[in-house]
Each structure stands twice: as C-alpha cells, then as structure tokens.
C-alpha cells in the first residue's frame, strides 16, 4: 500500500464535519415520532425488511466499488465478491428464516439467541482480521466508507420508542437506545472528517469504533442479564421477552454480530493506514 492510496479519499473543502447532522437529526426524530405514533408499522416487519435490503445492497455496492479500486484482475474481483457476498446472504437468510418461525423465543436449551450473537463473530473474526485479500480491499477502500455505513445504527432509537410505550424495561431500553443512536449520529461526521483528511480524523474514527463496540457490550450484557433463561440475573418489572420475537430479534441475532464485524474491519483498516502514515 502507498501513501497515495491512503490519500485517495474524496476531500470536501471548507465544510464542517458536523454538517451531516443538520439533516440526520431531524430525519431521525421524524422516524422515531412515526414509529411511536404507529406501533403497528414497526410490528409488521416492513421497516425491518426495507432496512435490511437497503443495507445489504449498499454493502454489496460498496464491496464491488472497493474491489474495483484494487489491482486485482476481473476474475479475482468476481471471486472475492462472491466469496464474501454468498456467506453473508446465507447467514442473513438462515437467521431471518428461523426468527420468523420463533426459534429465538425463550424456553429453548441451550438458549439460541446468545449462540446467534457470538458464534458468527467467533467464526468470521479470524478471517476478517487475517485475510490478505481483505487487506488488499481495505487498502484500496476509503476509510470513510466503513464508518459512514453504520449510520443505520440510528434505527436503534426503536428501543427508546419501545421504552416510551412500556414494552421493554428502562434498564435495557435507555442505554441501548441512546448508545445506538449516538453511534449512528456520529458515524457521518466521523466519516466526513476521514474523507476531508482532517488532522485528528483517524483518532476520532478509532474512538468511534471503540464506542460502538462498548455500546454492543453493554446492550448484549444487559439483555442477557434480564431475559428469561439460564443467564438471567435481574428480573425487571417489565419482562424483556420482546428480544426473542420477530422482527425485533433480528437486531441481536444479526445486526449486532454483523456490525461487530464491520467495526473489526474498520479498526483493521485504520491500523493499516496508521502504519502508512508512520513511514518516514
């Protein structure tokens, strides 16, 4: 990788990295108000389907555009695209299918939701961190992409809506909803700073990734501690049974582990970029 590759970001001039928040904040507020006013909309699963399909298409497009920036041959790019896309599609399809059929509802032993959260991370993380082909892709891809993509985390505000409606306990809904929304809201200004080449943008991106991972650690830890099952340590006044039902269960069963892997990719990319900058 060369310093020229590191500088291959698009660099907007003369704009604040916080400008994206000027439209993202009101849009997020409008979405929260809509889901609060029409709870049947969220319960129908339609927003979940639309969101997952949109994110999936953006991921596929970003993957291919990133591969086009590499020096790989067309055949190598196609093979890499398929090698990364097919397992992701299969993973999502399996989780989605079993979630609709109630496989994550409380009462199963061993509990299936913790397996759905941790097994993909344990399985895919070594590959994500060690693959040379993925390293080539990360070197060619702008660092802002993997950060800005997680703007979808603002949809975690659904936990605050559920809390306001008395559907989930505050011990879970408050930190989870606030943490997810902050991660999503900050994704765009951090990505903007990376694209603009601001001086402390890499440190800000590292801090953002760590914050996003800590948010998941807190949410998963509290969620397991208050949900019915062998890991339950706290019995809240409002049972946390909704986390095992469709469509809400797709968040812990798929969004959480896939987002953890995106954080891992971003941290690996930033670490590789840091090595380039450190070279005299």
- Look at residue 14 and tell me whether its pLDDT is greater than 60: no
Looking at 101-169, list the stretches that DSSP marks H as alpha helix, in order from N- to C-terminal side: 112-130, 132-140, 143-148, 158-164
pLDDT attached to residue 114? 92
- Look at residue 91 and tell me whether its pLDDT is greater than 90: yes
pLDDT attached to residue 3? 37
Residue 255 DSSP class: I
Integer Cα distance of 63 and 43 in angstroms: 31
* Mean pLDDT value of segment 117-124: 96
Supply 8's token pair: 């291959």
* Mean pLDDT value of segment 172-200: 92
- Look at residue 34 and tell me whether its pLDDT is greater than 90: no
User: What percent of the chain stands above pLDDT 70?
Assistant: 91
The band of 111, judged by pLDDT with boundaries at 50, 70 and 90, is: confident
- Token pair 């765009």 is found at 188
pLDDT attached to residue 6? 43
pLDDT attached to residue 98? 93
Contact 63/84 with Cβ under 8 angstroms? yes
* Mean pLDDT value of segment 216-230: 89
The band of 239, judged by pLDDT with boundaries at 50, 70 and 90, is: confident
* Mean pLDDT value of segment 124-128: 94
- Token pair 């969101």 is found at 51
pLDDT attached to residue 241? 66
pLDDT attached to residue 16? 65
- Look at residue 107 and tell me whether its pLDDT is greater than 80: no
Integer Cα distance of 132 and 127 in angstroms: 9
The band of 248, judged by pLDDT with boundaries at 50, 70 and 90, is: confident
Q: How many helices (H) and strands (E) does the chain have?
A: 13, 0
- Look at residue 53 and tell me whether its pLDDT is greater than 90: no
pLDDT attached to residue 230? 80
The band of 4, judged by pLDDT with boundaries at 50, 70 and 90, is: very low
Q: Report the length, in residues, of the chain.
A: 280
- Look at residue 8 and tell me whether its pLDDT is greater than 50: no
- Look at residue 11 and tell me whether its pLDDT is greater than 60: no
- Give the range with max mean pLDDT: 26-40, 42-56, 87-101, 236-250: 87-101
Supply 224's token pair: 């397991």
* Mean pLDDT value of segment 132-156: 94
Contact 228/113 with Cβ under 8 angstroms? no
The band of 276, judged by pLDDT with boundaries at 50, 70 and 90, is: low
The band of 106, judged by pLDDT with boundaries at 50, 70 and 90, is: confident
- Give the range with max mean pLDDT: 80-84, 110-114, 246-250: 80-84
């Amino acid at each position: 990788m060369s310093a020229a590759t590191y500088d291959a970001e698009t660099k907007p001039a003369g704009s604040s990295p916080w400008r994206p928040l000027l439209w993202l904040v009101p849009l997020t507020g409008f979405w929260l108000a809509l889901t609060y006013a029409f709870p049947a909309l969220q319960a129908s699963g339609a927003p979940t389907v639309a969101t997952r399909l949109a994110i999936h298409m953006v991921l596929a497009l970003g993957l291919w555009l990133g591969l086009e920036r590499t020096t790989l041959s067309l055949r190598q790019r196609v093979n890499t695209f398929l090698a990364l896309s097919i397992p992701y599609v299969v993973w999502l399809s399996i989780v989605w299918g079993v979630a609709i059929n109630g496989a994550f509802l409380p009462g199963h032993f061993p509990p299936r939701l913790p397996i759905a959260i941790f097994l993909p991370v344990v399985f895919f993380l070594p590959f994500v961190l060690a693959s040379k082909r993925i390293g080539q892709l990360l070197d060619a891809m702008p660092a802002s992409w993997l950060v800005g993509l997680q703007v979808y985390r603002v949809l975690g505000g659904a936990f605050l809506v559920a809390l306001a409606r008395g559907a989930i306990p505050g011990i879970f809904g408050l930190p989870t909803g606030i943490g997810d929304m902050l991660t999503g809201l900050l994704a765009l200004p951090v990505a903007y700073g990376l694209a603009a080449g601001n001086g402390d943008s890499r440190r800000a991106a590292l801090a953002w990734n760590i914050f996003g991972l800590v948010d998941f650690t807190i949410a998963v830890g509290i969620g397991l501690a208050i949900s019915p099952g062998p890991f339950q340590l706290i019995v809240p006044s409002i049972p946390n049974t909704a986390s095992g039902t469709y469509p809400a269960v797709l968040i812990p069963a798929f969004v959480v582990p896939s987002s953890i892997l995106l954080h891992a990719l971003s941290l690996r990319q930033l670490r590789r970029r840091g090595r380039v900058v450190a070279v005299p």
